[in-house]
A = this chain, B = another copy of it.
């Protein structure tokens, strides 16, 4: 295998390694040749080899570990879990706890709450005015002591202020839907806007994933009859989570 001109060498090498992975010549958890070995194999410099491996890492096909090497990632990660479909059943507690327990792992989380003023985008999502008071809570969710999800939620104090659920995590009830039930507000629906991008350094560090890997970003808002009552930004590693949604199709009219 050697590179031909006309297409960047690092892309050709990435193509070659990718097909070896997809066709099974390199199996999950197999070790790729070391960078110096690949330099010899393809007759290129280390920069080119590293660019090729970076391509594959961004595609989620390999992981690199300093001091050890590069390894093929399992194509269907064993950590596959679901989130969105949870709402089809009546969530009894926090969706995270349910889905994590179902996967045989121990759910845990820590958080920090504080009152603050709504920024412009948050005010927009909550249907309130910028500067209005909100309760801001940052969560770090762990499965078997490993951080797997980050979330920052905002609740308008115009709704929760002075009630028993003003402090999101002070009561015995977990989960947004049951909590709002406690003050007589039944959440009727939830909207999730899903996007993807690379992890920011803080997120990569906290989630213990290599810097630059793709994450899924969910903008989730709970509504009571078109009145937003809670909105959150959720970040999960796309290597660990698959978001699964089930949508009903109404019968033909």
Contact = CB atoms under 8 A, between A and B. Distances in A.
A11 interface: yes
Q: By DSSP majority rule, is chain A's interface helix, strand, loop, or mixed?
A: mixed
Interface of A: 11, 14-15, 18, 54-55, 58-60, 82, 84-85, 87-91, 177, 181, 186-201, 211-212, 214-216, 238, 241-253
A116 to B, nearest CB: 17
A242 B215 CA distance: 14
A185 to B, nearest CB: 11
Contacts of A59: 197-200
B247 A195 contact: no
Nearest to A88: B247
A84 B252 contact: no
B243 A193 contact: yes
Contacts of A87: 247-249
A195 B212 contact: no
A189 B243 contact: no
Given A90-B249, A181-B252, A193-B242, 8 more contacts: A55-B201, A58-B197, A87-B247, A90-B252, A189-B249, A191-B246, A194-B243, A196-B214
A249 B221 CA distance: 12
Contacts of A241: 195
Contacts of A196: 196-197, 214-216, 238
A81 to B, nearest CB: 11
19 contacts: A58-B198, A59-B197, A84-B247, A87-B249, A88-B247, A90-B252, A90-B253, A91-B249, A186-B249, A190-B246, A191-B245, A192-B245, A194-B194, A195-B216, A195-B238, A196-B214, A196-B216, A196-B238, A197-B214
A60 B198 contact: yes
Contacts of A212: 54-55, 58
Most-contacted residue by chain B among A186, A194, A252 (CB, 10 A): A194
Nearest to A55: B212
A242 B251 CA distance: 27
Most-contacted residue by chain B among A59, A188, A190 (CB, 10 A): A59
Given A198-B60, A216-B196, A211 B247 contact: no
A3 to B, nearest CB: 14
Contacts of A85: 191
Given A55-B211, A181-B252, A211-B55, A15 B201 contact: yes
